Amino acid sequence: MFDTKVAILVLDDLAVWQKLNVTAFLATGIAAEAPDALGEPYEDALGRRHARLLGQPILVFAAPPEVLRRAWGQAIERGLTRAAYVRAMFSTGHDAANRAAFREEPAEAPDLVGLGLRGPRRDLDKATKGAVLHG
């Protein structure tokens, strides 16, 4: 059992490729902010080294816009580690443009299509209330 929990909330009406893309980006953001949560490097039967993975499960949820907005507010209020993906980032082509697009969003109500969270289990459960595990 882990003291923390990791969750990715993805807007439920995105195209499949968008859901996968957003999930991948958000997972890397959470991993970058939590290097202590990364496991040891993997090694195959021939001794070749492979990348480390996050050492705890990542729950992926589908969420309507109102649940994403609620989770955003809860995450800020509770001081959870956050990674955000806004709709405008689909039209950019690189990290600097993504950051510029994010900065232009209204701080209290960004047009979220995905949100990655990490923090104490109890706080994450409250933040993800109303989201359903992605199926």
DSSP alpha helix (H) spans, the chain: 16-33, 65-78, 95-103, 121-127
Q: How open is the CA angle 128-100-107, to the nearest 5 degrees?
A: 45
Partners of 54 in beta bridges = 38
User: What distance in Å separates the CA atoms of residue 65 and residue 96, rounded to the nearest whole number?
Assistant: 25
4-52 tens-digit pLDDT:
999 999 999 999 999 999 999 999 999 999 999 999 999 999 999 999 9
Contact of 68 with 84, CB cutoff 8 Å = no
pTM for this entry: 0.93
Q: How many helices (H) and strands (E) does the chain have?
A: 4, 7
Look up tokens 């969003």; give the residue: 105
User: β-strand 112-120 against 49-50: which pairing, if any?
Assistant: unpaired
* For residue 53, pLDDT beyond 90: yes
The whole-number pLDDT of residue 2 equals: 87
User: β-strand 81-86 against 112-120: which pairing, if any?
Assistant: antiparallel
Give the tokens for residue 73: 């507010």
* For residue 135, pLDDT beyond 90: no
Domain at 4-133: CATH code: 3.40.1490.10
For the chain, percent of residues with pLDDT exceeding 70: 100
123-133 tens-digit pLDDT:
999 999 999 99
DSSP3 helix / strand / coil % (the chain, rounded to 5) = 40, 25, 30
* For residue 61, pLDDT beyond 90: yes
